[in-house]
Structure 1
Amino acid sequence: MSDTNPLPAGRVRNTALICLAVAAGMLGLAYAAVPLYNLFCTITGFGGTPMLASGPATKVLDRTLTIRFDANVAPNLRWRFTPETPSIKVKVGETQTVTYKIQNTGDAPATAMATYNVLPEIAGSHFMKLECFCFQENTLRAGETMEAAVVFFIDPAIADDPGMADVHDITLSYTYFPSKNGKTLDASAKQ
């Protein structure tokens, strides 16, 4: 006969609770990953995410950059989206406003939200937005057109960033996606 000592019931219960807690924690982290990543990008400018500024720059430098504007629409959204100009020259620290024209070319109302980024990605932490149409959903009736603006400046701290010394052009890119309650919908989702 073999001598077997069954595990005490308390030990089995504790092991099961630990396994359950680890599984719940992993599930929670999976759900939190995207919002935490978005928060990280918003705070640091990582991945070309423009920063949100609370006020204009305190100084304007002589350095001039070309800012290009890229406007896109997801294939499942029947909107036309164009900037008033394809590019502008701007002094570092100077507040600028650029207007976009947005038109619903479909035959039904549509709600959409713009995602955005900056290229080169390293410039994201220096691209400061004061106001932007991209902060909320926009709903347009069939055939309706609206104008919307982005107000921004390039942070004078760019002059102290050695990685930005050879950057002369920055592209601000937007893409409109169908959305509902502030969340963009999957490309295959119906409106």
Structure 2
Amino acid sequence: MTPRFVVLHYTAMATADAAIERLCDPASDVSAHYVICKSGRVTQLVPEGLRAWHAGAGEWRGLTDINSRSIGIELDNDGQTPFAEPLMHSLEHLLTGILSAWNIPPENVIGHSDMAPGRKFDPGPRFDWARLEAQGLAGRRGHDIGPSDPTPQGFAQVAKQAGYTADVDPDTLLAAVRLRYRPFETGPLDPQDYTPLGHAARWA
């Protein structure tokens, strides 16, 4: 396997050790390449060049079977609280090495929720994507406001260009994009929902 993507998850378990135990249990039918605990300890469970069962059904940039194309990193977090500073520091160090070793562009660091909209919600609303973007460890968001009369069809096209190609309804797509870029935003589609996707030149 030659990894093309990195997929970030949260463990949603009481402890990192409990998550590792589950990820190492053949009966669980789930695995990941790395687990990072709140203290910053990094545990590798699967070699980077081998397939792990962390992504499941989904699609990104028109590609399915993301398990065969990605490195999965589980983060010790419940999905509702801020991510610990030592954990984030270790994640940044780990991502720097992975992206360099496998020539993976920052744009290919995604969340589980990006490739499986509506089915998965990790790494969740508290994950600091902007922090990774600032260090070149995730794709940078755009800054131009979208069209004044946004439509679900137009938004779906822009989101597709950004990588969100899974076949989901407009509300699910909007929720997935917001979870990544505007996690606490509610209400109908807004011009600012286009902003982070970075396709201002294609909005007309």
- What is the TM-score with the length of structure 1 in the denominator? 0.23
- What is the TM-score with the length of structure 2 in the denominator? 0.22
Tell me which protein shows more strand as a share of its residues: 1
Which structure has the bigger radius of gyration? 1
Tell me which protein shows more helix as a share of its residues: 2
